[in-house]
Structure 1
Amino acid sequence: MLAEIEARIEAEAERVGRDPVGVRLIAVSKVQPNDRVAAVLEQGHRLFGENRVQEAAGKWPEFRSRFEDIEVDLIGPLQTNKARQAMELFDAIHTIDRSKLAKTIARLAQEIGACPDLYIQVNTGREDQKAGIAPEDVDGFVAECVAMDLPVRGLMCIPPAEEEPSLHFALLAKMAGRNELTGLSMGMSGDFECAIAQGATHVRVGSAIFGDRVPAAT
């Protein structure tokens, strides 16, 4: 399944005149058994995405001891009180969505002497149940983060399920462009080809690679 997704990414990138190297596949390994994750690692894939700090902490140190060059990104919401642990675990955080979190990360970055790459989550659909900066507040929030010397690499969004995703991807690309940000974390299993056509640099694909998720034990 990994090879099929990689082939589809390459084909879509070439169709729209992009270099496939410019599209990175985040294999979303949240709530997946370790044997499935190991199988994807053994195929040579090295970039993964997790939703929860606690789950990542219990999974990736052991994998990093067995495989070289692993990158793990946080693609789920981050509580401020888990920011330090997240900064130590992840290579990038795609869900910066409020000033309090940004300020906490800036302070910790000074203490630690390092900071993961950061992506600002934008609530392009203005959905009450979703996190993210409102579209009209993006420019100001980017400026606030840059003023704190945070390594903001780009923007991230999750379009509303019932709306045409390309409109949201195009909006995110426009906001990134005017803020001179090159990273676009957008597109999932059902719409990643559409996202690539709109300029995605990172697509997040889970079940199409690993199979259906296995619910965590309660």
Structure 2
Amino acid sequence: MEPQGLESIRARLGAAEREAGRAPGSVTLLAVSKVQPEDRVRAVLRAGQRIFGENRVQEAQGRWTPLREEFEGVELHLIGPLQTNKARAAVELFQAIHSVDRLRLTETLARLAQERGASPDLFLQVNTGREPQKAGCLPEEADALVARARALGLPVRGLMCIPPEGEDPVPHFRLLRGIAERNGLPGLSMGMSGDFEAAVREGATHVRVGSAIFGDRVSAPPAATGA
């Protein structure tokens, strides 16, 4: 039986696509499994969900190394901040990284891509709210970061943002879309449990939904700094 949260989100996402005049299935649902108990993750996997978002490299390694042996076709996206010293592990584990936000990290990812002959899809994170505690380049820095990442041969697919909590997210979604459009980037990773329908209306191609699928997160255990 499909978990009620996943069933509800799939129905709401489909309705949002229709209302926005988007093609069915044009928006990718990332089930954000960070800090969720394994039984909840397994239930969502059994219901057919195969694309998941994780915040930390180490946690994702521990969770998904065994689960990938059991469930075929799992695709992992890193949506949390990435420390440069975790980049090698990240590119080996994830099919996409949504949190590329600085020049040094792009250079490290380019070097690893050259070594491996392959790279995950990359989204550059923009701090649309200019929050000092939050990762992401500033909006006025985004064009230069996109240009540099492309010059390094990296597969930049789009942009990502996390609007400030408590603010209307729509201006942030529109700001991100404008940056993406002028840089010819098709991907927009934006929208979470509370605002993904608005994000779909504003052009999101990837939405990141956790608690609305799995239920409230359990408390995270103490963890090392960064991803």
TM-score interval, normalised by the smaller of the two chains: over 0.9
Q: Distance in 1 between matches of 2:99 and 2:54?
A: 11
Q: How does 1:67-146 map to 2 (within 5 A)?
A: 67-146=71-150
Determine if contact 1:50/1:75 at 8 Å carries over to the other structure.
yes
Q: Does 1:215 align with 2:193?
A: no
Q: How does 1:1-218 map to 2 (within 5 A)?
A: 1-218=5-222
Q: Distance in 1 between matches of 2:76 and 2:6?
A: 17
> In the TM superposition, what is the alpha-carbon distance from 1:40 to its structure 2 partner?
0.2
Q: Distance in 2 between matches of 1:203 and 1:196?
A: 8
The one-letter code of the counterpart of 1:47 is I
TM-score (norm 1): 0.98
The one-letter code of the counterpart of 1:175 is I
SS of residue matched to 2:25 = helix
> In the TM superposition, what is the alpha-carbon distance from 1:153 to its structure 2 partner?
0.2
> In the TM superposition, what is the alpha-carbon distance from 1:197 to its structure 2 partner?
0.3
Determine if contact 1:156/1:185 at 8 Å carries over to the other structure.
yes
The 3 A distance-change label for structure 1 pair 164 and 216 is: closer
- The runs of 4+ residues in structure 1 deviating greater than 2 Å are none
Determine if contact 1:155/1:185 at 8 Å carries over to the other structure.
yes
Determine if contact 1:184/1:201 at 8 Å carries over to the other structure.
yes
> In the TM superposition, what is the alpha-carbon distance from 1:49 to its structure 2 partner?
0.4
SS of residue matched to 2:113 = helix
Gaps of 5+ in 2: 223-227
> In the TM superposition, what is the alpha-carbon distance from 1:161 to its structure 2 partner?
1.2
Fraction of identical pairs, as percent = 64
The one-letter code of the counterpart of 1:176 is A
> In the TM superposition, what is the alpha-carbon distance from 1:113 to its structure 2 partner?
1.3
> In the TM superposition, what is the alpha-carbon distance from 1:16 to its structure 2 partner?
1.2
> In the TM superposition, what is the alpha-carbon distance from 1:63 to its structure 2 partner?
0.9
Q: Distance in 1 between matches of 2:37 and 2:198?
A: 29
Deviation per CA, 1:134-172, whole angstroms, max 9, x where unpaired?
111111110000000000000000001122101100111
TM-score (norm 2): 0.95
Gaps of 5+ in 1: none
